[in-house]
Homo-oligomer: A and B are copies of this chain.
Amino acid sequence: MTLNGLPHHRGGAEELARLLARALLAGHWQPGDAFPRELDLCTHFTVSRNQVRNALASLTATGLIERTAGRGTVVRAVTDWHLLDPLMSEWMVGLADPDPQLVREIFAFRYSAEPVVAGLAAEAAAAADLERLEAAFQGMTRTASEPAARGLHAEYDVAFHDAIYLASHNLVWRQMGHLLRPSIIALIESSQAHVHQEHESLDDSLARHGRVLEAIRRRDSAAAERAAREVLRRTAIDLGIVDAPAIPHPDPKESP
């Protein structure tokens, strides 16, 4: 691919990096393809070589491209991407059409991880964590009835999941919560768009969130784990990806 399709920008290496990264994430180049040379980028975007080099350094750090002196810049395969790099999640927010396979992979990860985190939260949650969870849940409840407050509802939803990761009181899981934030937002918005949000689906989702909160408050680790799994299963249903191969079947223990 050439640079012809890419929009211009206001300035700053960060924004240039974001621009190029999103083009790469959208699959505009194939793995192994040659990436434009520094000077071409300079002329196309009318920025200094400095800015270009800084931007490309970010792309290199996240494993999106590989640069070697004399040979040039080539784009790397998905398996080489550093999906857990904060820059990467930043670049993913509001991505128009992310690779559906990638979305499934990330959701499958969440599906396996978040129940465990909810279990940890049930064991480690302090008063402040419970307050945060409660506030988010009450916000979701308040905004559930009014269709006008859909955006606000989504925010409370994200806050709820974030609060679960925070309540685990583990440094690594907290990081993970941060990183998953964009994916969670995207999934919520996407599920809001797919299903037409009849009361049925929304009430069900709300109830499932409530059972997670309840279990954590009771400090019932196993119940929190099950309840969190149920929340994600609801999301999977709304997205219509519940049968995707990347997602393990819901609960093997219930049907041996």
Residues on A facing B (Cβ under 8 Å)? 54, 57-58, 61, 63, 78-79, 81-87, 102, 105-106, 108-109, 112-113, 116-117, 119-120, 123-124, 169-176, 179, 221-222, 246, 248, 252-253
Contacts and interface: CB of A to CB of B under 8 A. Distances in A.
Nearest to A219: B252
Given A85-B84, A248-B123, A108 B57 contact: no
B87 A61 contact: yes
A86 B62 CA distance: 9
Contact of A102 (B54, B57, B171, B221): B171
**Could you say how many copies of this chain the assembly holds?**
2
A253 B172 contact: no
A220 to B, nearest CB: 9
21 contacts: A58-B61, A61-B87, A82-B85, A83-B171, A84-B85, A84-B175, A105-B170, A105-B171, A105-B172, A106-B172, A109-B172, A109-B173, A112-B120, A112-B170, A113-B113, A113-B116, A116-B116, A123-B248, A123-B252, A124-B248, A221-B248
Contacts of A78: 171
Nearest to A102: B171
A86 B84 CA distance: 9
Contacts of A124: 248
The 9 closest A-B pairs by CB, nearest first: A109-B172, A84-B84, A105-B171, A221-B252, A112-B116, A123-B248, A84-B175, A83-B175, A82-B86
A184 to B, nearest CB: 14
Contact of A79 (B86, B112, B171): B171
Nearest to A85: B85
A116 B112 CA distance: 7
Nearest to A179: B84
A253 B61 contact: no
